[in-house]
Amino acid sequence: MKKTILIISVGLFSFLWSCNKEKSISAPVPDNEFLTTIMLVAVNEANPADVDTATWVDLTPDDPNPPDTSKAVLHLHSNSVYDVQVIFLDQTQTPAGDITAELKERQNYHLLFFQPTPIAAADTVSGIDYTAIPGTAPALAGPYLNLKVARTDKDSNVPPQSIGLSDKFTTGAISSGHLEVVLRHQPNAKNGTYAPGSTDADVSYRVNIN
């Protein structure tokens, strides 16, 4: 009987060991596009040569390494009107993947919000077609960032709703602060307000108006 046990043991264990020759290394993942870069390109309506770009980059979007915000600064002139394009890129690929085009394809599901800070309590209004982010605390006292943002593009919902990839920035007196830009993903729920859906991107730029 001992012999039987031995034969069975050897047999089964060698079978066990010979199985599972599965590859230990991942098969290559099909190219997924990451959001790595969000740019604001501002063109002065009065002077098309007056262009400024602010760039927020995180080339490793899935790990806790901090993003590169050294170029996330927007310089604008006071008392001016700017046409602004928001550009989303995937710079993990070469050439960079254009996420903006995909957002345009799925424009009925996306809505951008722009929140200047510090702001006065009177400017915290949010609701349908407002660009403010609900819950933003107003500053107790000035100076405030004198920046107003309005979306200029519309999607194909019925009735059409704003998207925010194209915007009009109106500056006031000389001031500085931050601008928080949030891309909301609101599949089948977009209603012009902030609340439905989830956040795809949430980045912050320094803004100098001079």
Instruction: Give me the residues that bind other proteins (CB under 8 A), please.
Output: 1, 4-5, 7-9, 11-13, 15-17, 19-20, 22-27, 29-36, 38, 56, 58, 60-64, 66-67, 90, 97, 99, 102, 134-135, 182, 185, 187, 189, 195-203
Taking the least distance from each CB to other proteins, the nearer of 62 and 156 is 62
Residue 48 half-sphere exposure toward CB, CA atoms < 13 A: 0
Measured CA distances, 115 to 44, 138, 152, 171 (Å): 20, 11, 16, 14
Residue with tokens 């660009």: 131
The DSSP code for 152 is: -
CA dihedral 136, 138, 143, 146 (to 10 degrees): 50
Amino acid found at 97: G
Residue 53: which residues within 8 A CB-CB, separation 6 or more?
A: 39, 40, 41, 42
Residue 43: which residues within 8 A CB-CB, separation 6 or more?
A: 50, 51, 82, 83, 84
In this structure, the number of other CB atoms found within 10 A of the CB of residue 13 comes to: 10
Q: How far is the CB of 9 from other proteins (least distance, A)?
A: 6
Q: How far is the CB of 183 from other proteins (least distance, A)?
A: 9
Q: How far is the CB of 198 from other proteins (least distance, A)?
A: 4
Q: How far is the CB of 66 from other proteins (least distance, A)?
A: 6
Residue with tokens 């008392």: 79
C-alpha closest to that of 103 among 194, 43, 190:
190
Taking the least distance from each CB to other proteins, the nearer of 33 and 83 is 33
Q: How far is the CB of 87 from other proteins (least distance, A)?
A: 14
Q: How far is the CB of 137 from other proteins (least distance, A)?
A: 12
Taking the least distance from each CB to other proteins, the nearer of 12 and 121 is 12
Taking the least distance from each CB to other proteins, the nearer of 49 and 63 is 63
Taking the least distance from each CB to other proteins, the nearer of 15 and 125 is 15
Taking the least distance from each CB to other proteins, the nearer of 83 and 200 is 200
